Chains A and B, each alone.
Chain A
Amino acid sequence: MSASEPPELPEEPSEVVYRRPAWVEPPADVVPGIVPVELILARTPQRAIGLSGIRAYPTGFGCTLHLRLREDIPGEQSNFGAFNMFGDGVDPAGEFADYYLRFGVGFADGRKATNLVQRHDFDEGPAPDPPTLWIIRWEGYDRLAWELDVWVYGLPPPGPLAFVVEWPARGIPESRVEIDAGLVLEAAARAVPIWPDQDAP
């Protein structure tokens, strides 16, 4: 095949009935209600973690974490360490590495979800008890800035909703910021079904 010829088309795409379970991502058929939070969860002279833009659904909520390094520090671990998809954030003894960013949410009734517990067998078994926390997008703009989109399955009860971070290798101790969970519940109530009058295509 010459460079000027188009590549061969693959075989006809197969139809797949598989769908991801509801607890691993926001519902596809809902426009979320937005809570315009703009929080700085932790800040040192060199590193900071922000959180913004809660997108609330009847089944849970998403938000974006902003990881910011002011400059490179020679010798510092360069890995943002924000997820453990491949087990690389855990040492052989099962301890999370210092560079691993710890993030979690805490509900007023004591329940919590963190990225220290990430279930990867979501094709199997029943849905977990909410809340659970799942990182659904990560993107690095350069060596100094990363974004993480987080999905929290399960809505909080009324009361304080806590966001907690800890990043030992970056000098950020456990830090906690609370908002009123009522903001999330009100936004979830504003979420709008995309196909309200249609059961199936």
Chain B
Amino acid sequence: MVPGVVPVALLVARTGTHAVLIDGLLVYPTGFDFDLAVRRHPALPRHQTDPRVWHELWLEVRFADGRSADNGPGPWPRPDDDRPPDPPLLYQSVIGPDGGHVWLWGLPPPGPLTFACQWPSEQIPPSQAELDAGLVLAAAARAQTLWPAQAVSP
């Protein structure tokens, strides 16, 4: 599929030196992916950070019905379990000094969709911002199937 696009970049946290954006929200019928983008003030010297610090950037996505998912350590579905996990499930596929890339399994119900983060080692306090989940649901409806109802050639 080609995903639908949420036409918003969300500023979740901002300090005098750092900001965290949710950017590149691309939506499929089964969930959405996005960049968890850490921005540093251009005047701030870049540090060679310990990769373990990268894992301390905590992100949680909360649905209006109270369900939530975060990038904390597990528990993860067993790889030999064919049943899909209960959504939402958050998988951060890229982790680095500038944040990472995230796949969230499951679409939110209508209402506020909350992104919350904190990164104590970079002095980013608990912060959050909301997005209208309707934007995500509308984008999911625009995702395009590339080969609809077409037999695969032998």
Contacts and interface: CB of A to CB of B under 8 A. Distances in A.
Contact of B144 (A40, A55, A199): A40
Interface of A: 9-10, 13-19, 27-29, 31-40, 43, 45-46, 48, 50-53, 55, 62, 64, 66, 68, 70-71, 137, 139, 149, 194-195, 198-201
Nearest to B41: A201
Interface stretch (B2-10, B60-68, B80-88): B2-10
Contact of A29 (B39, B93, B146): B39
A52 B5 contact: yes
Q: Nearest 4 CB-CB pairs, A to B? A: A50-B2, A200-B43, A36-B5, A36-B7
A201 B44 CA distance: 7
A29 B42 contact: yes
A64 B14 CA distance: 26
B74 interface: no
Given A40-B144, A52-B26, A195-B41, 7 more contacts: A15-B47, A35-B7, A40-B146, A50-B144, A50-B146, A53-B24, A53-B25
B45 A53 contact: no
B30 interface: no
Interface string B20-56: 0101111000000000000111111111111000000
A194 B39 contact: yes
Contact of B153 (A13, A46, A64): A46
Contact of A16 (B16, B39, B46, B94): B46
Interface in B84-110: 93-94, 101
A14 B45 CA distance: 10
B152 interface: yes
A194 B11 contact: yes
Contacts of B101: 137, 139
Interface residues of B, number: 43
Contacts, number: 119
Contact of B146 (A10, A70, A139, A194): A70
Contacts of B8: 34
B10 to A, nearest CB: 8
A39 B8 CA distance: 18
Given A34-B7, A149-B24, A45 B150 contact: yes
B147 A53 contact: no
Contacts of A139: 93-94, 101
B21 A31 contact: yes
Contacts of B150: 45
A37 B5 contact: yes
B19 interface: yes
Contacts of B23: 31-32, 55
11 contacts: A28-B39, A29-B42, A31-B21, A36-B5, A38-B4, A48-B2, A53-B3, A53-B26, A71-B152, A139-B93, A201-B41
B146 A55 contact: no
A200 B4 CA distance: 37
Nearest to B98: A28
Contacts of B26: 52-53, 64
Contacts of A70: 146-147, 152
Given A13-B50, A32-B9, A200 B41 contact: yes
A28 B94 contact: no
Contacts of B46: 15-19
